[in-house]
Amino acid sequence: MQSKEKEIAGKKMRLETGRMARQSNGSVLVSLGETTVLATVNAAKEPREDIDFFPLQVEYREKHYAGGKIPGGFFKREARPAEHEVLTSRVTDRPIRPLFPKGFKNETQVMITVLQSDGENMADVLAGVGASAALMLSSIPWNGPIATVRVGRIGKDLIMNPTRTEMEESDMEMVVSGNRDTVVMVEGEADCVSEAEMLDALKAAHKVIKEIIELQDDLLASCDVQKDEVTIPKPDEELIKQVNEEIGSKVEEIVNIPDKKDRANAKEDMIVEVLESMEADFPEQEKNIKSLIDDKFKNAFREQVLSTGVRSDGRSTTDIREITVEPDILNRTHGSALFTRGETQALVVTTLGSKRDEMIIDSMDEDFKKSYYMHYNFPPYCVGEVGRIGFTSRREIGHGNLAQRAIKPVLPDYDDFPYTMRIVSEIMESNGSSSMASVCGGSLALMSAGAPLKGPVAGIAMGLITDGERHAILSDILGMEDHLGDMDFKIAGTNDGITAIQLDLKIEGLSFDLMEKALQQAKEGRIHILNKMNEVMPKPNDISPYAPRIMSVSINPEKIGALIGPGGKNIKKIIEDTECEVNVDDDGLVTIAGMNTEKCNEALELVKAITFEPEVGMEFDGKVTRLMSFGAFVEFAPGREGMVHISELEWHRVEKVEDVLKSGDSVRVKLIKIDDQGRLDFSRKALIEKPEGYVERPRKPRNDNRRGGKPFKKRRF
């Protein structure tokens, strides 16, 4: 067993290998505080045949036992990965994938398991550190190491790997991965920070990343590691020559076809022609020929942009595609918008709900509810293809989460807009940057639903093409520019600053100078898009008549029991009588939801009636619930009663209570006394005009302990 530890950003981080999972190709335990994860890596002995991609699988799993919990549900065991686990798997995959050798096709699996959690130090950032260290200690060829940190900010102070408690006060949350030289992956959100503040946070994160890499180097130096050799087949020079002759200048012509569909058709026709003409001389070489043609397309596309600055659709590097905004496109939904940018189109719909519609999260460390969430769907028809329909893909989860984070900082406070908000983005067409179209459409759909946002949000995807000496930063990239370029850099925000950011690279790093230029260019594009959105929808709509009406009131938490009543009697009666949904929080916040405003108001008044503090002199409309020989009990609110003494029924003497009131009668009464035990004495006669000439006789004081001058006998029950 070997272990190394080091103080990183004021906290001790420990790496250990050789104690657990010793049959894995590489395994490492990573600890921060009392949070520990196990990272293991393994690869197949032989490469997979007939594939044109690297078969890498990254799986991050949180075990409930790590947080001292038992999973919910019927089976009481961990089942499908939760959304947070899927997102962490993606964030771990993205920085390590480009560092495997080109042409390496051995199936590789990285598994990260959370073994224990202290509830404060978050385990997800340890996944990237563990994956890197395990790969470095394995025989699998990999051009690492990398490291991952979380960045928070309280006030103006940046905090590296903040605790959960610190994150509650933070206005920034970014997960940053990098190598010795620069940053390679970013994922996060912020409360409208400037481009300069974002860049400073990334630079600060990189300093800590280098310290964690040094810790990995120390562990590696204590181990004897031998890397496997990667054998990549040599290219067939004769085949390459023949393909070049067959293609000629056709590739350059096809690259400049603006329409995605026409360009794809022209490319497919050319491939068919080349395959037919070369079939006799190069039998069974179809796959290699297609691969060479793809390389030609990639090189031609990249060279054109670098040498001329003109893209395949005729735009310059900074031009934004034509934008069309159509709000309120579905009039029966609570809010909707159709956002189209070039050949990318998102139909986004907002649905407003009550507290009952909140999403329940049962995680390793905490259980909570979300009153805002966004879902993103990418059906096969949006790219004109036939595809498998099944579970939500990791890509859909990741894109939906990014759009959700982008909009979250501008949402209204719950007290101002007490709704649960669900946004669904249906991608109708896709040719690059559909997640950013979902941000724009989501912002518009919320305003369509009447949500008073702090400001609209727009998003833009930036690309990069570089050959090491020349570079071109591209605004609003196409799908082809994403596929053939070196960077996918998504930035969302308002006029005031950045709200979400995501950086993926296909190269081994991006200099901070290029990052600064990309951020500034993205800001110009974002402002352009926001202006287009504001022209069509400058302010939120009124709430749709098809949306529920929600009202809220804060009550004394000590009155919650009275509102609920024995066995839920009171609150159930309010729900039954008004046909409204009533929810009570532990802090005393009561929310009422229903489709009828009058019914909601009625329920609200009933809640107030049950929970308010009555004062002498107040008048109430009540119902007689019980008759006694000495008076009548009157219910003036669900579950709340007071007594009208027989002497307070009429100005004249009443022999029997039944002569004036009957059970079930409606009666208006006035509160005349509250005794030391909180019991209420009402009067009916106080609201009746006193008869003319009436003279009130003085009463003799009652002695409750005597009857006929003799003391009561005390009885023991």
Average pLDDT, the chain: 90
Residue 528 CB coordination number (10 Å) = 17
Residue 692 has pLDDT above 80, yes or no: no
CB atoms within 10 A of CB 484: 21
- Categorize the per-residue pLDDT at 366 as very low, low, confident or very high, splitting at 50, 70 and 90: confident
Whether 704 shows a pLDDT value over 50: the answer reads no
pLDDT for 292 equals 87
- Measure the CA–CA gap between 42 and 37, rounded to whole angstroms: 17
Q: Check pLDDT > 70 for residue 697.
A: no
DSSP string, 550-606: EEEEE--GGGHHHHH-GGGHHHHHHHHHH--EEEE-TTSEEEEEES-HHHHHHHHHH
Phi, psi of 429, deg, nearest 5: -140, 150
HEC string of 184-221 equals EEEEEEEEEECHHHHHHHHHHHHHHHHHHHHHHHHHHH
User: What does the pLDDT look like over 244-287, one tens digit per residue?
Assistant: 888 878 888 888 888 888 888 888 888 888 888 888 888 888 88
Rounded Cα distance, 303 and 484, in Å: 11
DSSP string, 406-457: HHGGGPPPTTTS--EEEEEEEEEE-SS-HHHHHHHHHHHHHHHTT---SS--
Which residue type is seen at 182?
Answer: T
User: pLDDT-derived band of residue 699, with 50, 70 and 90 as boundaries?
Assistant: low
Spatial CA neighbour of 105 closest among 50, 146, 145: 50
Res 178: pLDDT? 95
pLDDT (mean) for 626-653: 88
Instruction: Give the pLDDT mean for 622-640.
Output: 88
The rounded distance, in Å, linking the Cα atoms of 56 and 107 is 6
Sheet with 487-493: strands ordered across: 157-160, 147-154, 172-178, 183-193, 498-505, 487-493, 458-466, 471-475
- In this prediction, residue 193 carries a pLDDT of 95
Could you give all domains of the chain from N- to C-terminal order, each with its CATH number?
A: 2-221 (3.30.230.70), 238-308 (1.10.10), 323-536 (3.30.230.70), 548-612 (3.30.1370.10), 614-709 (2.40.50.140)
Residue whose C-alpha is closest to residue 349's, from 368, 366, 333, 365: 333
Which has more confidence, 362 or 518?
Answer: 518
Do 438 and 396 form a contact (C-beta atoms < 8 A)?
A: no
Higher-confidence residue of 558 and 422: namely 422
Q: What is the pLDDT of residue 192?
A: 94
Phi then psi for residue 66, to 5 deg, are -60, -30
Over 80: is that where the pLDDT of 693 sits? no
Share of the chain above pLDDT 70, in %: 97
* Helix axis angle, 394-407 to 434-448, nearest 10°: 50
What's the token pair of residue 15?
């790496």
Rounded distance, CA 454 to CA 129, Å? 37
Q: Is residue 150 within 8 Å of 166, Cβ to Cβ?
A: no
The 10s digit of each residue's pLDDT in 145-178 is 999 999 999 999 999 999 999 999 999 999 999 9
C-alpha 298, offset from chain centre: 35
Q: What are the tens digits of pLDDT across the range 93-122?
A: 999 999 999 889 999 999 999 999 999 999
What is the mean pLDDT of the segment spanning 66-83? Answer: 88
Cβ contact 67:119 at 8 Å = yes
Task: Name the nearest CA neighbour of 549 among 572, 581, 584.
Answer: 581
Q: What is the pLDDT of residues 597-616, one digit of tens each?
A: 899 999 998 898 888 888 88
The pLDDT score that the predictor gives to residue 690 is: 81
Whether 466 has a pLDDT exceeding 80, the answer reads: yes
